[in-house]
Structure 1
Amino acid sequence: MPFFDEQDTDITLDTVQGDTELPSGYSTQSFKIDFENGRILSQLTDLPETVRQQAAIAIMTERGVHTVLGDDFGAQIRETIATAPTREVAALEIDEDIRDALVDDLRISDVTNIVVERVGEDKAQVYVEIDVDGELVTVEQEV
Structure 2
Amino acid sequence: MIPRDLDIVEERQPSLTYKIDFEKGRIVGMTDGLDAVKQAVFFILQTERYQYLIYSSDYGCELRGLIGKEPLFVRSELKRRITEALLQDDRIEDVTDFDIEINGDSALVRFTVVSVFGEFKVEQEVTGVV
Tell me the TM-score normalised to structure 1 length. 0.69
- Aligned match of 2:17 in 15, 30, 35? 30
Q: Which structure would you say has the larger Rg?
A: 2
Residue 47 of structure 2 is matched in structure 1 by 61
Residue 6 of structure 1 is matched in structure 2 by none
Q: How many residue pairs align between the two structures?
A: 117
- Partners of 1:116 and 1:60 in 2: how far apart? 18
Could you say if the C-alpha distance between residues 30 and 140 of structure 1 is closer, same or farther in structure 2, counting changes exceeding 3 Å?
A: farther
- Aligned match of 1:133 in 116, 119, 122? 116
Identical columns (%): 29
Q: Which amino acid aligns with 1:140?
A: E
- Given that 2:93 and 2:114 are in contact with CA atoms closer than 8 Å, whether structure 1 keeps it comes out as yes
Q: Displaced runs of 4+ in structure 1, greater than 4 A?
A: none
CA RMSD of aligned residues (A): 2.3
- Partners of 1:57 and 1:126 in 2: how far apart? 16
- Partners of 2:81 and 2:35 in 1: how far apart? 22
Deviation at 1:119, TM superposition (A): 5.9
SS of 1:99's partner is: helix
Residue 110 of structure 1 is matched in structure 2 by 94
- Partners of 1:129 and 1:25 in 2: how far apart? 23
Deviation at 1:90, TM superposition (A): 0.6
Residue 56 of structure 2 is matched in structure 1 by 70
SS of 2:54's partner is: helix
39-48 vs 125-134, which moves further: 125-134
Q: Which amino acid aligns with 2:21?
A: D
| Unaligned runs of at least 5 residues, structure 2 | 1-9
Could you say if the C-alpha distance between residues 59 and 133 of structure 1 is closer, same or farther in structure 2, counting changes exceeding 3 Å?
A: same
Task: Give CA-to-partner distance per residue, 1:39-61, whole Å, 9 cap, x none.
Answer: 24232112101111111111121
